[in-house]
Amino acid sequence: MTSNQLGNESSPYLRQHRENPVHWIAWGDAAFEESRKTGKPVLLSVGYAACHWCHVMAHESFEDDRIASVMNERYVNIKVDREERPDLDAIYQHALALLGEQGGWPLTMFLNADAEPFWGGTYFPPEPKYGRPGFQQVLEQISAIYKNEPDKVVQNVTGLKQALAQLSVADPGGEISMDISTRIAESLLGHVDRVYGGIGSAPKFPQPAIFEMFYRTWRRTDDKRFLDATLLTLDRMCQGGIYDHLGGGFSRYTVDGEWLVPHFEKMLYDNAQLLQLLTMVWKETRTPLYAQRVRETIDWLLREMVVDGGGFAGTLDADSEGEEGKFYVWSAEEIADVLGAEAEAFGAIYDVNPAGNWEGKSILNRGAHPQMLEPEMEHSLAAAREKLLARRADRIRPERDDKVLADWNGMMIAALAECGTVFALPEARDAAIAAFEFVSNSMQVDGRLRHSWSGDAARHPATLDDYANMADAAIALYEMTGEDWYLEQAAGWVETIETHFSDADGGGYFLSADDVADVIVRTKSIQDNATPSGNAVLVRVLAKLFYLTADAQYRNRAEALIKAFSGTLEKNVFGISALINANELLQNAVQAVLIADNPAAGGELASELVQSPAPNLVVQRLGADASLPAGHPAAGKTMSEGNTTVYICRDQSCSLPVTDSAALAKVLAG
C-alpha cells in the first residue's frame, strides 16, 4: 500500500486517522494479500474514537513522518475500530494476555500474513520512557526478527495459535444452586472498598453486574452487608467526579479509588447498566438521589446521544481541544464569574477552590457532602448548575462517535423501557421504541442483523452480543407494552442465534457467526467485560421466553448453556456475575399476568407491578380476549367481573385473581 486508505471508511475512529502519513488500510483480504506479496509482517493497531491513549499514540507516533516512514517501509499497517469489530479485538487482546502483557487500548499487535499474532503490546511512546521501549525501536527490532529469525516467529505463532484455540472451548459443570451463588457473592464482597465503595482500589470501574448480584443476594438472604455495599457504591458514584453533575451521565471509570478523577469518556453501555441498577435499587429504597440521577442521565442521553433516525451514538470522547477533560473541569475564577455571590456556597459543596482538585482545575463532585441537603439549598444548587451548564455549552465539545452499535443500543433500549415505565417518563419510553425501530429497520439486511451503523450504512456481521441484547430489548418492550410482535421478534433472533452461533458439540454460543470467515478462531466466553457476556444475556433471554411462552425448549437451552460454562465458577469468581444474575431469574422467577381492556396502561395494578422491588418479576400484559398457551400456569385465567386483574404465579402455581393494588402488594411480598 502506497497511501492511506481510510478516507472512505465510515468509522469515525478510522476517519480520525485518514490524514496520518501512515499507509493505513482497513481490515480485510487486501491487507493480508499485500503482506503475502511483499513479505512484510502486519502491524495491527486497534482502538476506538473516545480512547485518550489512542489519541496520544496517534499524535506522538502516527502523525510523525519519521516513525510513519518506518511503518510504511517495513509493515502492512491495519487500523481496526474495536467497537466495529469486537470479535477481532477479543482474539488479539487474549493473544496479548498470553504473552504476559496487560491488555487495553491502543492495542498494538504484530501478525503474519495469515492474521496469526506473534508479538504485541499496547501504548508505546515515541522514545523510551515510562519503562517502555520507544515505538521506533520496537518497529525496527520486530521487523528484523521477522526477516532474519523466522524460526522465532513460527515458534511464537504456533504457541499462541494453540493457546488461542482454547478460546472456542467452554468449561462445563453442573447446575448453579443459590448456595453457590451466595458463596460467590460472599467471596466478591471481600473485595469491596469499605470507605468509598466499588471493587478494589485504583483504577475503579462501576461493575454494575457485581452490585446487582449483591442486591439480589441481600433480597434472597437478608444479609445486610450486601445491601450496604451496594448503597455505599451507588451513593459515592452518584456524588463523585465520575458523574457529570452539570450535564448528567457517568464516565467510564476513575483513575483514583475515591471516584473523583474520571477518564472523561462517556460510554453508552456504562450508562445503560447504571440506569438499570439505580432503578432496581430505587424500587427498594426510594432514595431521591437515585431517581434524580436516573432522570438527569436520561436527559443527557436524549439531549446528546440520539442520532438521526432514533438510534443511540456509542461514545463521547474524553478529550477536547487536545486535552483530556478540558470540557468538564473548572477554575474557581470561572465559577465565580458565572455564579457571583453564590460561588462560595456552591464551591463549598462541589469541591471548588483556587488550587483545584486535579491539575490545578476543579472536577465538580460532592464526595465530601454526599447527603442530600434541605430542599431550599438543593434548589439553589440546582439553579447554579443550570447556569454553569449554560456557560459550558459555549465550550468546544468533545467529539461524539456516531456509530450505532446493535448490542449497546439493545442495552440502552431495555434500560429506557424499564426506567421510563417505573418513573413515568414517556420521553424515555418513546426513545426506547424509536431506537428499537431504528435497529430493526435500518440494521437488518436479508433477515440478519448488522453490528454497526455508520455513514448511512449497516456494516459488519452481528455478534452473539448483538442478537442477545436486542432480544433482551424486545422482551423489555413486550413487558412494557404487551404488543406481541416484540416477543415474536425476540424469539426470531433467538432462533438465529441457535442456527448460526451455537456450538452443538461443546455447548454454549460463539461470539462470531458460523459464516464469518475473517477470524482465526471463533471465541466463546461467559466472562463479563465492560458489558455483560453475550452468553449470560442469552440465559436471561431464554429464561424470560420460557416464562412468557411456556415453551420448554427455552428452559432446556438456558439450563444447557449454564452447564456449558459453570465449571468456570470453580476457578474464578470475577467476571461471571451476569451469569449468576440470569441463573437466579431462571430458578426463581415470579410471573405476573395482567389482564385488562387496555393492558398497556393497566392503571394502579400495572403501577404496582412496575414499582415492585422483586428482581425476578416477569410481567405479561394481556387484553381481555387474549389467551395464554397451554402449559402456562395462568392459561385459561380471565378478568374478574370485568375488572383489571392480576395473577401472580410461582413454580407453576398462581394466586387467586387480584383486582386491588393493596392486595397485589401483599401477594408480591409473599
Tens digits of residue pLDDT in 608-653: 999 999 999 999 999 999 999 999 999 999 999 999 999 999 999 9
When pLDDT is averaged across residues 283-303 and rounded to a whole number, the result is 98
Q: Which of 491, 492, 514, 494 is nearest to 504 (CA)?
A: 514
Half-sphere exposure of 598 (CA within 13 A, CB side): 4
Please report the sign of the dihedral spanned by the C-alpha atoms of residue 577, residue 578, residue 583, residue 584. positive
Task: State phi, psi for 9 to the nearest 5 degrees.
Answer: -80, 150
Task: Report how far Cα 129 is from the mean position of its chain's Cα atoms.
Answer: 33
Q: Would you state the CATH architecture of domain 590-669?
A: 3-Layer(aba) Sandwich (3.40)
Q: What is the DSSP string of 604-650?
A: HHHHHHHH---TTEEEEEEETT--PPTTSTTTT---BTTB-EEEEEE
Structural contact between residues 31 and 41, judged by C-beta atoms closer than 8 angstroms = no
Q: Helix crossing, 406-422 with 268-285: angle to 10°?
A: 20
Whole-number pLDDT of residue 455: 86
Lowest-confidence pick of 122-126, 532-536, 559-563, 601-605 = 601-605
Cα(240)–Cα(293) distance, rounded to whole angstroms? 12
Cα(33)–Cα(297) distance, rounded to whole angstroms? 47
What three-state secondary structure class fits 414? helix
pLDDT in tens, 86-95: 999 999 999 9
Q: What are the grid coordinates assigned to 240, written together?
A: 463523585
Q: What are the Cα distances from residue 338, in Å, to 327, 343, 387, 392, 536? A: 16, 8, 7, 10, 48
Question: Confidence class of residue 1 from pLDDT cuts 50, 70 and 90?
Answer: low
Question: Confidence class of residue 5 from pLDDT cuts 50, 70 and 90?
Answer: very high
pLDDT in tens, 127-145: 998 778 999 999 999 999 9
Is the pLDDT at 2 greater than 90? The verdict is no
pTM above 0.85, yes or no: yes
Q: Confirm whether 6-168 and 178-196+277-315+401-587 share one CATH topology.
A: no
Q: In this prediction, what percent of the chain has a pLDDT beyond 90?
A: 96
Question: Confidence class of residue 226 from pLDDT cuts 50, 70 and 90?
Answer: very high
Q: What are the grid coordinates assigned to 512, written together?
A: 462470531
Structural contact between residues 120 and 96, judged by C-beta atoms closer than 8 angstroms = yes
Whole-number pLDDT of residue 461: 96
- Beta strand pairing status for 42-47 and 76-81? parallel
Q: What is the CATH number of domain 178-196+277-315+401-587?
A: 1.50.10.10
Structural contact between residues 112 and 41, judged by C-beta atoms closer than 8 angstroms = yes
pLDDT in tens, 484-537: 999 999 999 999 999 999 999 999 999 999 999 999 999 999 999 999 999 999
Whole-number pLDDT of residue 43: 98
Domain ranges of the chain: 6-168, 178-196+277-315+401-587, 328-394, 590-669
When pLDDT is averaged across residues 565-593 and rounded to a whole number, the result is 96
**Beta-ladder partners of 192:** 199
When pLDDT is averaged across residues 106-135 and rounded to a whole number, the result is 94
Whole-number pLDDT of residue 670: 80
When pLDDT is averaged across residues 16-38 and rounded to a whole number, the result is 97
Is the pLDDT at 546 greater than 80? The verdict is yes
Mean residue pLDDT of the chain comes to: 96
Domain 6-168 CATH assignment equals 3.40.30.10: yes
pLDDT in tens, 354-392: 999 999 999 999 999 999 999 999 999 999 999 999 999
